[in-house]
Amino acid sequence: MKAVVYEKYGPPEVLKLKNIEKPKPKDDEILVKILAATVTSGDVKLRSSDFPPLFWLPARLIFGLFKPKKKILGHELAGIVKEIGKSVTEFNVGDKVFGTTTMLNAGSYAEYICLPQKWKHGVVELKPENLNYQEAAALPIGAMTAIYLLEKANLKNGQTVLIYGASGSVGSYAVQFANQRGSRVIGVCTTSNFEMVKSLGAESLIDYKKYDYSEGDEKFDIVFDAVGKTTKSKAKKILKNRGIFVSVRMLTKEKDEHLKLIKEMVEKGKLIPFIDKSFKLDEIVKAHEYVDQGRKKGNVVIEIPN
């Protein structure tokens, strides 16, 4: 099968399309023909080893001190179940699924992958019926991160929420979730992305290039840093007395119930993935180059031909 492999950390060019052996499912695994994956910020950080100084050594110890342990990147996917292990009870051959590859030995930049039907760190579920594979692949990481952090912030109806980085993958989902919960949402992004973020449910917008969001007069119940580029000390200036700051820099956890909730919301028309650009598997270098620019809106998808 074809897969994108990287043997060393570095720029997008370290990603190489190769032919490797197709995996075989274990007793508790499903073999999925991947039809779509994405380029997440996590993929870019792992490829380049661009971790904050405080976390650089711990990250290298986990993911590979001198070279990557996980040779195939790709944190989320959508595809079709082609084989099942003899202990699998939750999926059947032909099922259309979406999910993550968190802490598995291989990622989704490949034609096939083996996923456990249940494991500690990641999730897999039947994909929403009203989405194509590209749209479904763009859901799990960003949407689950948004749900987890908004729950951590104890999001309630009637609150006022500021989302910094509202046009990114996590931010675009956070805007929708907060809006669905009856919150008033203010988004921070560039002017060129205002229309997109407003269409997702933001009431008003701030261009971070023109205005410092922390210098405003309005106070917020929640400040959600969706891109890891602001700080709690800065957010405190505009938080109410019991206001809460959350950031994608915090540890999060993938939960089956969150992926099921996402599926349900999508099928009810209450949540949509925003796709910025799509690339083919053999254009993976171009895809990473684009994400490296830091200008993507929503999600960047990788199409993997059937």
**Mean pLDDT, residues 190-197:** 97
pLDDT of residue 16: 98
pLDDT band at 19 (very low <50, low <70, confident <90, very high): very high
Q: Give yes or no for residue 143 having a pLDDT over 90.
A: yes
pLDDT of residue 66: 80
pLDDT of residue 64: 73
For the CA atoms of the chain, what is the radius of gyration? 19
pLDDT of residue 84: 98
Question: Reduced to 3 states, what is the DSSP secondary structure of residue 164?
Answer: strand
Degrees to nearest 5, angle at CA 128 with 126 and 131 = 135
**Mean pLDDT, residues 184-189:** 98
Each residue of 31-76: pLDDT tens digit?
Answer: 999 999 999 999 999 999 877 777 777 777 777 778 999 999 999 9
| Mean confidence (pLDDT) of the chain | 95
Each residue of 213-267: pLDDT tens digit?
Answer: 999 999 999 999 999 999 999 999 999 999 999 999 999 999 999 999 999 999 9
List CB contacts of 228: < 8 A, sequence separation 6 or more: 247, 248, 249
Give the count of beta carbons closer than 10 Å to the beta carbon of residue 156.
11
Q: Give yes or no for residue 184 having a pLDDT over 80.
A: yes
pLDDT of residue 62: 74
Q: What is the DSSP string of 33-93?
A: EEEEEE--HHHHHHHHT---HHHHHHHHHHH-SSS-S--S--SEEEEEEEEE-TT--S--T
Q: Which two tokens stand for residue 214?
A: 């922390």
For each of the domains in the chain, give its residue range(s) and CATH number, in order of start.
Answer: 2-139+273-303 (3.90.180.10), 142-247 (3.40.50.720)
pLDDT of residue 8: 95
